[in-house]
Amino acid sequence: MTYRPDKNTPILKLSNLATYSFVACDDKAGNFTDALARIMKLKKGRSEGRKLLVYVSEKKGNSPYTILPENKDDPIICSLVPASNPDLFNIQVQRLAQVVVADITGLGGALIHGGLCSFRGIGAVMAGTGGIGKTTASNRLPIPWVSYSDDATLVVPDGDGNYNAHPWPTWSRFYSGGFGGAWEVEKSFPLAAIFFLGQAKTDCLESLEKYLAKAMLIETIEHVSRLIRREDKDKQSYIKKCICSADNIVSSVPVYRLTVSLEGEFWKEMEKVMPKVERFEKPDCTEKHLPLDYSYKKMHYIYRGLSMNPTFYEPEMLTIKPYSGKEPKKGDVICYKVDQKGESIVHRVISVRGSEIKTRGDNNAIADSYKVEKSAIIGRVIASRRGKEKRTIYGGFIGVLDMYWSRGYRKANLFISKLLYKSYHYLACSGVFRKLKPKNMIFKVVVFDRYSQKYPKLILNGRTVGTFDFIDLKWKINRPYRLFVNEQKLPVFDSLNPNMPTE
């Protein structure tokens, strides 16, 4: 097979500012460019704009490299390595996308670690470090809010001092047997605000001063740019470009800190500062993404987040079985995608009325604002492995009983938290319980690596009991484990280098 780059080239157009043609110079390179075209939903045609010449080096020991000329008329050269397994293949595809990010950064744009959403056609970014709750917040947004990505957003200058925001793929979904996905990267929205998320008991919005907004924005850009920085020969030069882009963005786009509660309607705080427009945009539920076959085999899913506590705790492994023609029932715990977009969600079915399926997380105070389409359901969770313990997850009537037990547990937990808040923190600081800690209760600090992001967690017997918050620069430890942990001896990590604790 011989590629015809002049007629069969994937083309990416970004906000009328930059156009890229991914020219495959050999058959193996064509596999990578075709995959990128599927993921980014790119059209093919004659090459135009800036050419990105893609080669695959067959020589052993060769490393992938990129030549990014300063002259915008010269083509970008990207050399990849053969893929011996699916993960290595996806890494090479991600490298192609990151080359575009590097070039856009040189034009004054940036890739931000945050989900893109729109409000009546105007864009906003919900930013933050890994594990802060970007995916959960994106999934909770009601119409007329529409979520387009939950992990990364490419911000591109429009040439008039403003910025447009494009959804960007969540690459971690393609690794270790993930479900993948597709994003309409060429779709863009005028960027009106950036919200840095935090977790709290109440929803609150506050404007950030420019110096603080710039520092936080640089941090989020760094989180999704590590792959680029390892390839960039002049790292200091690239870092300066990121800093310059962050400075220009915060000068044009308002930046806020938004604390999000489990029960509140945080989007109402966002609407207070969004431009008032009459345009109403409905989410497109007809688009089909990468073909996924859920019909015949069991799948495994690593649970993340808080919405299904205490039924599931991160990082339990869930076993998912397709319905294969059977109907979901109230009480089933299902895995699904909202409009076939975004990361897979695991919530419980609370009602089934014909084709309308309503869901809710066991740890959430209210039902999900959307209805789940049957075509978006991947399957039912039938088992869970928590460390060495494997549990059967029941649906139907028994699942309903589990649902009410979880809600009762949640309400009791909130009541006890308010009642014993001061006493609990006093006992945790006193160290009394640390002296009584069983010998087999061994806590470990582990830095998780998800390709575009790294963050530390506190693990006990394979279960996550605490996470490090890079915004507040402190550990957040689940109750009652704080009683048995000496927080003073836990490492404090540098937000710019989460692999290394600070002195």
Note every long-range contact of 99-102, with CB atoms under 8 Å and residues 24 or more positions apart, other chains counting.
99/52, 99/66, 99/68, 99/228, 100/12, 100/14, 100/20, 100/52, 100/154, 101/154, 101/224, 101/225, 101/228, 102/66, 102/68, 102/228, 102/231, 102/232, 102/238
Burial of 257-288, coded b for 16+ CB within 10 Å and e otherwise, reads: bbbbebebebbebbbeebeeeeeebebeeeee
Structure tokens of 224?
A: 């999704």
Q: Which neighbouring-strand residues pair with 446?
A: 457
Task: List, for residues 79-109, the tens digit of each pLDDT value.
Answer: 888 888 888 888 889 989 999 998 898 889 9
For position 296, what pLDDT does the model report? Answer: 43
pLDDT over 90 (residue 26): no
7/132: higher pLDDT: 132
Measure the CA–CA gap between 137 and 132, rounded to whole angstroms: 9
For position 448, what pLDDT does the model report? Answer: 65
Which helix (H) or strand (E) segment is 257 a member of?
strand 255-260
Q: What residue type is 277 in one-letter code?
A: V
For position 111, what pLDDT does the model report? Answer: 94
Task: List, for residues 55-87, the tens digit of each pLDDT value.
Answer: 888 766 567 778 888 787 888 988 888 888 888
For position 236, what pLDDT does the model report? Answer: 65
For position 191, what pLDDT does the model report? Answer: 94
What average pLDDT does the segment 444-471 reach? 71
What average pLDDT does the segment 399-420 reach? 78
The answer to whether the CB of 24 falls within 8 A of the CB of 5 is: yes
The total number of residues written for the chain in this structure: 503
